[in-house]
Amino acid sequence: MICDLRSDTVTQPTPAMLDAMMHAKVGDDVFGEDPTVNKLETMCAEMLGMEGAVFCASGTMTNQIGIKILTQPYDEVICYQGAHIYKYEGGGLAGNSQVSVRLLKGNRGRISAEEVLANINNTKDIHLPLTTVVALENTVVREAGSFYRLSEIEKLSELAQSKNLKMHLDGARLFNALVETGDRAIDYGKHFDSISICLSKGLGAPVGSVLAYKKEYETKARRIRKAFGGGMRQAGFLAAAGIYALNHHVARLKEDHLRAKKLGEALQKSSWVKSAMPVDTNIVIVEVIDGLTPEMVLSKLSECQIKALPFSATSIRFVTHLDFTDVMLEKCMSVFSKINF
Ligand SMILES: *Cc1c(COP(=O)(O)O)cnc(C)c1O
């Protein structure tokens, strides 16, 4: 039994999901003729309180399109200093949108209206890039899946509106946040100009992300997806997995969070762990004790068929997901307590 905790992207489609994929009605989506893609896009737009949506191959693509439709070259985007759009998208903001970034420290990755306000450039000063977008991430992957409440987002969007800034949400794990806060997805739409969600993370689809947006971006988003090489043809087979995931795999995210909490508690008690970040959703990040490296720990874990990721020079990341069961949890807890250095 292999316990693969490297990421929530490692899941296999369930038999019921595969069945939905096999029976999908498809067409050429570049012609707008794939009924299953169209259904997924409409479903996501409605669910998120938005007016349009486009199905893409990855969350990197939806984020990159999201930023590009909201900016002009030389603009500046404000985000958390560890944001996925900045740190883990291969420099795409510079390459695709030619924008600069203003990086904020945030509180466990959540940036506040006050912090944003202090970092909006004076539009009258021609030395300074024009601040045009505030980009949030929910949940925050670098900060062990910490999440925003809608009340904090309301303050940010109020500020953005008053300063004429656009708002983008990297909601790769938005549903992980929502099952904890009880906030509704539909209430997110009015605060953002674009929202990216991933179907292939906690929701367990094999491929796919969706970018939802306001009506005015419909043509531009599709044009840019095409220019990025992201126009897919009979993509309905993949969209069907996404529809299935949204219908069946959202509420169960709570289980992943519960298992992550237990995993975090077991790790905290382990002799080789110095400290653990608070576990808010499905991500556990621990610091190893002085004298150990993540690689030393990971090689011992791997002898016991447990996989995790080195996260920094001193920390390791574990992520729970659809294919991580209670039996695996028991095994991990037992292994954690037994390994010694
Ligand atoms: C995974 C992830 C993405 C998108 O990643 P892809 O691998 O390109 O689908 C975007 N943002 C966050 C926070 C993520 O964790």
Residue 159, CA distances (Å) to 134, 197, 292 in order: 10, 24, 45
Q: Are residues 261 and 121 in the same domain?
A: no
Residue 121 lies in a domain: yes
Q: Are residues 294 and 236 in the same domain?
A: no
Q: How far apart are CA 258 and CA 47, in angstroms?
A: 25
| Tally of domains in the chain | 2
Residue 101 lies in a domain: yes
Tens-digit pLDDT profile for the chain (341 aa)? 999 999 999 999 999 999 999 999 999 999 999 999 999 999 999 999 999 999 999 999 999 999 999 999 999 999 999 999 999 999 999 999 999 999 999 999 999 999 999 999 999 999 999 999 999 999 999 999 999 999 999 999 999 999 999 999 999 999 999 999 999 999 999 999 999 999 999 999 999 999 999 999 999 999 999 999 999 999 999 999 999 999 999 999 999 999 999 999 999 999 999 999 999 999 999 999 999 999 999 999 999 999 999 999 999 999 999 999 999 999 999 999 999 98
Pairing of strands 100-104, 75-80: parallel
Atom of ligand 1 nearest to the CA of 209: 9
Q: Are residues 325 and 210 in the same domain?
A: no
Q: Are residues 144 and 238 in the same domain?
A: yes
Q: What is the CATH number of the domain that holds 145?
A: 3.40.640.10
> What DSSP character marks residue 13?
P
Q: Are residues 243 and 265 in the same domain?
A: no
pLDDT of residue 267: 98
pLDDT of residue 27: 98
Counting Cβ atoms within 10 Å, is residue 55 exposed (0-12), middle (13-18) or buried (19+)? Answer: buried
Mutational pocket test of ligand 1: of 62, 79, 141, 146, the residue with most ligand atoms within 8 Å of the beta carbon:
141
Q: How far apart are CA 195 and CA 189, in angstroms?
A: 8
Give the residue whose CA is nearest to atom 14 of ligand 1: 172
Mutational pocket test of ligand 1: of 6, 8, 80, 84, the residue with most ligand atoms within 8 Å of the beta carbon:
84
193 close to ligand 1 (CB < 6 Angstrom): no
Q: The domain containing residue 86 runs over which residues?
A: 15-248
Among residues 214, 248, 282, which one ends one of the domains? 248
What is the whole-number distance in angstroms between the Cα of residue 303 and the centre of ligand 1? 29
